[in-house]
Amino acid sequence: MTELTPEQHRLLLSCAETHGTPTYVYFEGTIVRQIQTLKKHLSGLPLRLLYAMKANHSLPVMQTMLREGLGIDAVSPAELMYALKVGFPVDRVLFSANNMTDGEMHFATGRGVMLNVGELSRLEAFGKAYPGSDVCVRLNGQVGAGHHEHVITAGDRSKFGIPVEHVEEIHAIAAKYSLTIVGLHQHIGSGIMDTKTLWQAISVILDASTSFKDLRFINVGGGLGIAYRPDEQDLDMSSFDDLIVEPLKAFIDQHPSEDLSIWFEPGRFFTAQCGVLLARVNTVKEGTVRTFAGTDSGMNHLVRPAMYGSYHHVLNLSNPDGKHKTYDVVGNICESSDFFAKDRQVAELREGDIIGVLDAGAYGMSMTTTYNMRSEPAEVWIDADGSQCLVRPRRTVEEMVAHEMRQA
């Protein structure tokens, strides 16, 4: 997304005025649109959609997912407990912690949540503790993909999942403890625009699935990408239909079990485009070769540019018709990797202007830190009819200090 509707523009400026900056703003309408798009394309399949809450676990985001009938991919005890408290039924939550501890295993199992196990030793430990149970295993089919090497989660250098070559060992452990493998799972990476590679990975799991006789679901993960740059195309949904949905339907049609369903668990596809990070330009500084626009936010609030070199479109909301000039749009954190955009054309930025960093609804707030002892941003929710609600205030300096002094 590189443009806003006039209504979104107006609402964002009103949020900045009411709640100050830095502030994440989420538009409910965009999330619902994305969910409905995916549901429409997958409509002919026996389907369950989970939401990978690591992308954005803000309460109204979670409540929207619940209302839309989604389940949850949870990867830590706190994610799991929070999802249950929000109201997700236990049988719609899958617990996919990697390098799971005994304590985490008991935590999830004790609450009736199914484990998604990515290590043979954990499967063994689970079998010993809970013989005769149902379980899901995460396979690594050795095909990975993603927008950056740090987000590729399959392949022979990836820590995730049990290599598909070890299927016999899975069967042996399952037989030893009378475990029923009811689900197979994979997640090959994030920000995938290449449906061919995604299908290649899915087909490895489908092939492996033939030796699992009691499967109730095959979870093909998340990873669906979105366009961040103006010159990028959205995920090609017609190729998604042709290369993924139709072959999945054919697989299901000829599968002997009537009860088998296909699960997807996106994060980014549902939430990335709903979020805008608002920041205020505090300083405009002419360097010798660059003009720096320094803001009151930074890499502590949106780490994707620093971590992956990710592109996020930056708009000057206060001066949208200003003459375009070239800037490094930077934060207030003491790191040189602290930037939102480098060498970027933006409508003239003046001190006091409000900028919007777009497509920041996934892996933005959920990856926020308080580095340099600066508070997390505030969060504002804008529901489908345009009313806004502050869902998380920024912490004051006093609160930050009291937290350190354990007086909070």
Ligand X SMILES: Cc1ncc(COP(=O)(O)O)c(C=O)c1O
Active site residues per annotation: 334
What is the bridge-based pairing of β-strands 47-52 and 71-74?
Answer: parallel
Q: Which of residues 230-259 bind ligand X (CB under 6 A)?
A: none
Judged by CB under 6 A, the residue of 22, 161, 266, 294 near ligand X is: 266
Omega into 320 within 30° of 0, i.e. cis?
A: no
What sign for the dihedral angle of Cα 199, 183, 90, 93? negative
Judged by CB under 6 A, the residue of 127, 161, 222, 364 near ligand X is: 222
As a whole number of angstroms, the distance between CA 393 and CA 389 comes to 11
Min dist CB 152 to ligand X, Å, is 10
Are the C-beta atoms of 344 and 305 separated by less than 8 Å?
A: no
- How many residues touch ligand X under the rule CB under 6 A: the total is 19
Output 41 or 325, the one with its CB closest to ligand X: 41
Q: Is residue 314 a contact residue for ligand X (CB under 6 A)?
A: no
Instruction: List the structure tokens of 97.
Output: 């912690």
Are the C-beta atoms of 114 and 136 separated by less than 8 Å?
A: yes
Site pattern 165..204 for ligand X (x: CB under 6 A): ----------------------x--xx-------------
Q: Is residue 379 a contact residue for ligand X (CB under 6 A)?
A: no
Output 294 or 361, the one with its CB closest to ligand X: 361
Min dist CB 60 to ligand X, Å, is 18
Instruction: List the structure tokens of 36.
Output: 């409905």
Output 266 or 356, the one with its CB closest to ligand X: 266
The H-or-E segment that residue 128 falls in is: helix 120-129
Min dist CB 163 to ligand X, Å, is 16
Give CA angle at 205 (204, 209), nearest 5°. Answer: 120
DSSP 393: P
Judged by CB under 6 A, the residue of 19, 57, 92, 268 near ligand X is: 268
As a whole number of angstroms, the distance between CA 311 and CA 396 comes to 30
Are the C-beta atoms of 331 and 302 separated by less than 8 Å?
A: no
Name every residue whose Cβ is closer than 8 Å to that of residue 284 and which is 6 or more positions away in sequence: 291, 292, 293, 294, 349, 350, 351
Output 54 or 304, the one with its CB closest to ligand X: 54
As a whole number of angstroms, the distance between CA 88 and CA 71 comes to 7
Min dist CB 249 to ligand X, Å, is 22
- Which amino acid, residue 117? V
Output 54 or 374, the one with its CB closest to ligand X: 54
Output 167 or 220, the one with its CB closest to ligand X: 220
Site pattern 120..159 for ligand X (x: CB under 6 A): ---------------------------------x------
Q: Is residue 8 a contact residue for ligand X (CB under 6 A)?
A: no
Q: Is residue 96 a contact residue for ligand X (CB under 6 A)?
A: yes
Q: Is residue 71 a contact residue for ligand X (CB under 6 A)?
A: no
Q: Is residue 228 a contact residue for ligand X (CB under 6 A)?
A: no
Q: Which of residues 35-64 bind ligand X (CB under 6 A)?
A: 52, 54-55
Min dist CB 146 to ligand X, Å, is 8
Output 267 or 275, the one with its CB closest to ligand X: 267
What is the bridge-based pairing of β-strands 47-52 and 261-264?
Answer: parallel
* Piece of the chain touching ligand X by CB under 6 A; list 76-84, 122-130, 244-252, 267-275: 267-275
Alpha helices (H) along 210-282:
237-240, 246-253, 268-271
As a whole number of angstroms, the distance between CA 284 and CA 16 comes to 19
By the criterion CB under 6 A, which residues form the site for ligand X?
A: 52, 54-55, 73, 96, 153, 187, 190-191, 221-224, 265-269, 362
